[in-house]
Structure 1
Amino acid sequence: MSQFIVHLVEDEENLSQVLKAYLEKEGWYVKTFDNGDAAVQAIEEKPHLWILDIMLPGTDGYQVLKAIKEHGDTPVIFISARDQDLDRVLGLEMGSDDYLAKPFLPQELIIRAKKLLSRVYGTGQNEQRKIELNDYLIDPIGRTVVDKHGPADPVDLTTKEMDLILLLTGKVGKAFSREEIIEHVWGENYYGSERAVDDVVRRVRKKMPRVHLETLYGYGYRVLSS
């Protein structure tokens, strides 16, 4: 099973918990929101799928959908208990990818979500590109790292820490100089100290202690498979 990241926006607490449980049974990481304002703040986290209720306190579902589509083309499933035909038409016009009218069976949502994820990302595509190293599951597409021996939530990595991990684990065993790491992680226009590399490496080692991140003194770093 591919560990897709799903953001569920639903203000009915009981329904939210039920849907979250069903989605997590598929092996997906699910983050829930009970209002539109909080959902908008999380758009930059770029999940693989949004499941979005229309009637929300604060910012409503239509406004959240508009904000999501302004930041990219992440697929969205709209759910609503209001006028079905009107919500379906408006939602599709604004860019939603699917629509479910309440009440619905959780199994139906799972089927719709699977079909949508398969169509957008390709069957098995996400899983094929994952890297498994020392019981860490690294997802380059979703930019997440999950510790098989830790909590369900991904390891809390900053952008630079994630970039470093993707660079080093993308070519296990290859040595990267500090200059190469800076060029890949910070960009060729970076003019700061190379010590920034050492600082990021130190933080990654603390957050992912089982990864064998080797120091090549006077040169740089590499990740080894064991």
Structure 2
Amino acid sequence: MKHVLVVDDDATVSEVVAGYLNRAGFDVDVASDGLTAVALAAARAPDLVVLDLMLPGMDGLEVCRRIRDGGPTPVIMLTARGDEEDRILGLEVGADDYVTKPFSPRELVLRVESVLRRTGDPAARAAPAASGLRAGPLALDPNARRVTRDGTGLSLTIREFDLLEFFLRNPGRAMSREELMRRVWGWEFGDLSTVTVHVRRLREKIEQDPARPRLISTVWGVGYRFDHPTSDEETRDGA
């Protein structure tokens, strides 16, 4: 039974979310403030955290940072509708998904299940490759969920890893943000800025110069394309 920590200072929201998650087969703990959430996560590491951004004492961004400092725990942020800046900040500190309030508890349960599927056993993931994937300085092991650049390990969030794996499997093809959201996130609809933020964060981790990316190119009017570096580019990157 997967353990989910729900963090929200609205007792009604926490009760409803916990009830739906319990009925879906999850073991749920509830915290009403940030300090309690961090303490609960330290005492018993959750498999996933449902985390409201607006909390008393310590906001959700700081809670996310502290929980993620202890390991790659998946986090789904709850944000107020229209607070795009807060949603982007949540993604930038490592949240794997977000849901805007008011939301459907059933949708939230589906989001929880979707994120956890991507962090479960390798056999439970969709068609993992037996061998690793390589492109220039990058090496990705789908089974171990590990990425290195020039032999040095990279710390990627769940979504960043999934996005990079998808790019590596589809080099040289321009893909829209809608397609990436559908095929990587598994969403048929949503805020396309989610994709933009994750691409920017991924570039910061894999590119030699994120301001002049060579691996993930922007295709204006379309979306993005992953370009396998040429031998000369590999040499310059390794210089």
1:101 and 2:100 equivalent?
Answer: yes
Hey, what does 2:19 align to over in structure 1? 21
Q: What is the CA deviation profile of residues 33-78 of structure 1, one whole-angstrom value per residue up to 9, with x for unaligned ones?
A: 0011101112221110000000011111011001011110000000
Alignment gaps of 5+ in structure 2:
125-239
Hey, what does 1:39 align to over in structure 2? 37
**Equivalences for residues 29-108 of structure 1 within 5 A:** 29-44=27-42, 45-81=44-80, 83-108=82-107
SS at match of 2:90: helix
Offset of 1:83 from its aligned partner?
4.2
Hey, what does 1:5 align to over in structure 2? 3
Contact 2:81 2:102 in 1 (8 A): no
**Equivalences for residues 50-199 of structure 1 within 5 A:** 50-81=49-80, 83-122=82-121
CA distance in 2, matches of 1:106, 1:10: 14
TM-score of the superposition, structure 1-length normalised? 0.52
Could you list the structure 1 runs, at least 4 aligned residues long, displaced by more than 6 angstroms after superposition: none
Q: Which amino acid aligns with 1:57?
A: P
Distance 1:83 1:114, change over 3 A: same
SS at match of 1:121: coil
SS at match of 2:88: helix
Structure with the greater alpha carbon radius of gyration: 1
CA distance in 1, matches of 2:30, 2:123: 25
Offset of 1:82 from its aligned partner?
5.8
Q: Which amino acid aligns with 1:24?
A: N
Hey, what does 1:223 align to over in structure 2? none
Contact 2:77 2:98 in 1 (8 A): yes
Contact 2:49 2:73 in 1 (8 A): yes
Q: What is the CA deviation profile of residues 69-97 of structure 1, one whole-angstrom value per residue up to 9, with x for unaligned ones?
A: 11100000000116431122111110000
Alignment gaps of 5+ in structure 1:
126-226
SS at match of 1:73: coil
- Calculate percent identity across the aligned residue pairs: 41
RMSD: 1.5
User: What is the number of equivalent residue pairs in this alignment?
Assistant: 123
TM-score of the superposition, structure 2-length normalised? 0.49
Offset of 1:123 from its aligned partner?
8.1
